[in-house]
Amino acid sequence: MTSKPYLTGHYAPVVDEISATGLTVEGALPPELTGRLIRNSHNPKPGVTPTHWFKGSGMVHGIRLREGRAEWYRNRWVHTPALDGAPYMTEHGPDLSASTAGTHVIEHGGRLLALCEANLPFELTPDLETVGPFDWNGKLTSAMTAHPKEDPVTGELHFFGSSPLPPYLIHHVASPDGRVLDSQEVPGAGPALKHDFAITAHHVVFLEGSVTFDPTEHSGIPYAWSDAQASRIGVMPRGAGGAQRVRWFEIGQGYAMHLANAYEDARGRIVIEGPSVGRAGWQRSWNWWVGAPDRGAEPNSGSRSRRWTVDMAAGTVREEDTDDLVVEFPTINDAYLGRAHRYQYALSFPDDLGVGNHTLVKYDRAAGTRQLLPFGTGQLPSEAVFVPAAGGTSEDDGYLLSVVSDLNADASRLVVLDASDLSLPPVATVHLPRRVPAMIHGSWIPDTDLA
Ligand SMILES: [Fe+2]
């Protein structure tokens, strides 16, 4: 028996790759849901016990929907050299292709990419077979974040590469058809861990929390909390030469793994929102990720919704907690990415003692309210992916797609929820032929994006 929490229960890896067709659907799948929901999660091979949850090899799970039908489910490991045991560190330095590729999966320029922030992306076919590492036609010589941001207005993809050693931070922009247009090293950045970032209409926002490079950390992910590491927000103007005008603002100590969104308000201030965690919550979470004692009951402990408002003219940052729930995996309607959004979705976790249910949360920032959809015992929903309804007019006119791990039935199902009102019964439920290991990220990829 393993004592690693990430190899048991909702997180237990599956042992093989399967394909299934003609999935059972309850309710009615909206015909505009024609595409693929692809999720990525850590799934080490049988017999392999990674030293850190995030060191587990990535496996993608795809659900193919077309015009009201659920045509197929299939799961595939991302076949990288690391899956076959190739080490990240070699005598020639890091092997950027030795990736778990197990954090996220996105589409850009018609290309599917499985991502892990320490490595090159891995290209996949629409049937989830592995093509190989993708270095943006030679333009990417460092790692790539697992959380790139596609500007919904320009179609450009913003992403960064970070490293514990110089150059610490390089920002890239790719055209809608996938050509790297610009790469700039960002002055003032350091070795602090950078997992996510944000863009606004005119700026790029980086976060450096109080988690930084620590070569004495031996889990395979050499980062640790440091009280000596100031937390900072970097705001960089978009466009040529913007990096030379980046400004860094010190904030209270914390670590924001994910950001919900950022935007410029009517006064030109930069507003940034996302869950943030303090030292104790970080340590309990980390201990779960490495299977150490003194861990939380859940992989996320203590992260709460926070807002940072950066007043560039005054040189100040206002910080405030915006809710008391423990949440992570924030999402929005991506048509509002970089612009003021009204609605935000997130996954709330039981408290640090494991009391309570996993719950999807919808925040209405205009009304200052939240709506909760608790799942029952043994039910763990994934990050909610918003898909707009055909002909939708309001920001929340669409669907939330979530794959629910059901320990009671040893199965998983895709639920399609009406994003405008979480109290309504699911629009549709697709029964999957196997349990899908919980957590980490995914995307809805409409057929129109792969054409
Ligand atoms: Fe992430």
DSSP 188-243: T--SB----EEE-SSEEEEEE-SEEE-TT--SSS-EEE-TTS-EEEEEEESSTTGG
235 band by pLDDT with thresholds 50, 70 and 90: very high
pLDDT at residue 298, rounded to an integer = 93
What are the pLDDT digits (tens) for 115-140?
999 999 999 999 999 999 999 999 99
User: Is the per-residue pLDDT at 424 higher than 90?
Assistant: yes
Residue pLDDT, tens place only, 246-275: 999 999 999 999 999 999 999 999 999 999
Q: Report the SS3 class of residue 53.
A: helix
How much distance in Å is there from the Cα of 356 to the middle of ligand 1? 24
pLDDT band, residue 93 (cuts 50/70/90): confident
| pLDDT for the residue numbered 2 | 56
> How many Å apart are CA 75 and CA 83, to the nearest integer?
15
Report whether 306 contacts 228 (CB < 8 A).
no
Give the distance (Å) from ligand 1 centre to CA of residue 391.
31
Q: What is the pLDDT of residue 3?
A: 82
- Residue range 288-317: mean pLDDT, rounded: 96
How far does the centroid of ligand 1 lie from the alpha carbon of residue 414, in Å?
21
Can you say whether the dihedral through the CA atoms of 49, 384, 174, 340 is positive or negative? negative
- How far apart CA 269 and CA 271 sit, in angstroms, is 6
Cα 273 to ligand 1 centre (Å):
15
pLDDT, position 67: 98
Query: How many whole angstroms from 115 Cα to the centroid of ligand 1?
Result: 10
Distance 429 CA to ligand 1 centre (A): 26
The whole-number average pLDDT for the span 402-431 is 98
Ligand 1 centroid to Cα of residue 51, in Å, is 19
CA of 221 to the centre of ligand 1 (A): 15
Q: What's the gap in Å between 162 CA and the centre of ligand 1?
A: 14
pLDDT over 50 (residue 1): no
Q: How far is the CA of 156 from the centre of ligand 1 (A)?
A: 20
Cα 306 to ligand 1 centroid, rounded to whole Å? 17
Q: How confident is the model at residue 353 (pLDDT cuts 50, 70, 90)?
A: low
CA of 117 to the centre of ligand 1 (A): 9
Predicted pLDDT of residue 451: 75
CA–centroid distance, residue 152 to ligand 1 (Å): 20
pLDDT score of 96: 94
Distance, CA of 269 to CA of 27 (rounded, Å): 44
Residue 85: pLDDT over 80: yes
Tell me what the mean pLDDT of segment 303-325 comes to.
Answer: 97
How far, in Å, from the CA of 314 to the mean position of ligand 1?
32
Cα of 67 from ligand 1 centre, angstroms: 31
pLDDT of 372 reads 96
Nearest to 42 by CA among 417, 335, 324, 437: 437
329 CA to centre of ligand 1 in angstroms: 8
**Percent of the chain with pLDDT strictly greater than 90:** 96
Band of residue 427 on the pLDDT scale cut at 50, 70, 90: very high
DSSP-based three-state secondary structure for 329: strand
- Ligand 1: centre distance to CA 69 (Å): 30
pLDDT at 320 over 60: yes
Q: How far is the CA of 27 from the centre of ligand 1 (A)?
A: 31
* Cα distances (angstroms) measured from residue 355 to each of 182, 251, 358, 420: 48, 32, 10, 28
Average pLDDT, the chain: 96
Mean pLDDT of 24-51: 98
Residue 354 near residue 9, CB atoms below 8 Å: no
**pLDDT at position 355, please?**
75
Residue 11 Cα, ligand 1 centroid: separation in angstroms?
A: 16
Residue 120 CA to ligand 1 center (angstroms) comes to 16
Task: Specify the higher pLDDT residue, 307 or 1.
Answer: 307
